[in-house]
Amino acid sequence: MRNILLFFILCQAGIVFGQENYKILMHKGNKNFDQKNYDEASQLYSEASQQKAKDFGSHYNLGNAFYRKEMYEDAIAQYEKSLENAENESQRVSALYNMGNAYFQQGNSKKAVDFYKKALKLDPNNDKILHNLRIAQKKEEKKQNQSEKKSQKEQNQQDKDNQQQNNNQQQDIDRYSPEKDRFRKENNENKHEQDSENQLKKQEKREEEELLKQIAEKEQHTARRALGSRGYANSRSNEKDW
């Protein structure tokens, strides 16, 4: 019985000691945070979170220390844990709001907008959240416009490059295409055949003209011979006596 009682007392003492140690760690962490000793503060908050794993405050404060050290990814991870252990709406709003801030600092304005909206939904009259939401929305809109312009510019350049490539390919096709070469070859062959036919016709015409000339000369020779046998024997003309 005494052993059981002693065990119970020790457990209670351990719990009390742990709680006291947690409070001491959080107090020291807050003091260092206020003094901008963020490395020391993050170490103390981390030890405190180990004392109470399911705790909002230690994870939230550790997230803030990481945020001040510009370790935004680590800060977001701690804010997520604090959100899981939030005990009331105010704590949830704080965790969501700071997650939005961390995402915004990372340059992820789209994520920032999402978390600001979640925080604003829980606290619609919070001017600070609304202010940051509008800034994040403007930045996201600007990024989208720039992205669209960049995409359009890249598309125009791609279209231009494709057109130039098509032109070059078409030139190559015109220059080296077998069909084109065959067409040119056929044209040359047809031209050669046409020239040969023209030459042949000219030659035939010359031969025909030469033959006609020879025939004409032969006919003239025959005619002279005929005239000579009939009329050239008497050189004087027949004169009539009136």
CATH of the domain at 61: 1.25.40.10
Distance, in Å, from the CA atom of 186 to the CA atom of 191, rounded to the nearest integer, reads 8
For residue 171, count other CB atoms closer than 10 A to its CB: 10
Task: Name the domain boundary from 85, 108, 139.
Answer: 85
Residue 28, domain extent:
21-85
Contacts of 173 (CB under 8 A, 6+ apart): 180
pLDDT at 7: 44
pLDDT at 201: 77
Q: For residue 172, what pLDDT band results from cuts at 50, 70 and 90?
A: low
Q: Are residues 52 and 71 located together in one domain of the fold? A: yes
- Could you tell me if 25 and 44 are in contact, meaning their C-beta atoms sit under 8 angstroms apart? yes
Q: Output DSSP code: residue 234.
A: S
Q: Are residues 101 and 132 located together in one domain of the fold? A: yes
Helix or strand or coil: residue 35?
coil
- Could you tell me if 47 and 73 are in contact, meaning their C-beta atoms sit under 8 angstroms apart? no
Q: Is the pLDDT of residue 139 over 90?
A: yes
For residue 40, count other CB atoms closer than 10 A to its CB: 16
For residue 100, count other CB atoms closer than 10 A to its CB: 28
Q: What letter represents residue 179's amino acid? A: E
**Phi, psi torsion values for 47, nearest 5 degrees:** -65, -35
pLDDT at 68: 98
The number of folded domains in the chain is 2
Q: Output DSSP code: residue 132.
A: H
Residue 56: closest CA among 16, 26, 17, 100: 26
| 32-36, 86-90, 119-123, 158-162, range with the lowest pLDDT | 158-162
Residues in the chain: 242
Q: Locate 146 and state its tokens.
A: 């720039």
Q: Output DSSP code: residue 107.
A: T
Mean pLDDT of 213-236: 48
Is position 118 within any domain? yes
pLDDT at 174: 55
Is position 233 within any domain? no
Task: Name the domain boundary from 85, 114, 130.
Answer: 85
Q: Are residues 81 and 26 located together in one domain of the fold? A: yes
Q: What is the largest CA-CA distance in the chain?
A: 200
Provide the H-helix boundaries in the chain: 2-34, 38-51, 56-68, 72-84, 89-105, 109-122, 127-176, 178-230
pLDDT digits (tens, 9 = 90+) for 1-16: 555 444 444 444 344 4
Distance, in Å, from the CA atom of 151 to the CA atom of 166, rounded to the nearest integer, reads 22
**CA angle (41, 42, 48) in 5-degree steps:** 90
Q: Is the pLDDT of residue 171 over 80?
A: no
Does residue 48 or residue 168 have the better pLDDT? 48
Contacts of 121 (CB under 8 A, 6+ apart): none
Task: Name the domain boundary from 148, 167, 190.
Answer: 148
Distance, in Å, from the CA atom of 19 to the CA atom of 48, rounded to the nearest integer, reads 10
Is position 102 within any domain? yes
| 3-17, 73-87, 153-167, range with the lowest pLDDT | 3-17
Residue 86: closest CA among 110, 111, 118: 118
- Could you tell me if 44 and 18 are in contact, meaning their C-beta atoms sit under 8 angstroms apart? no
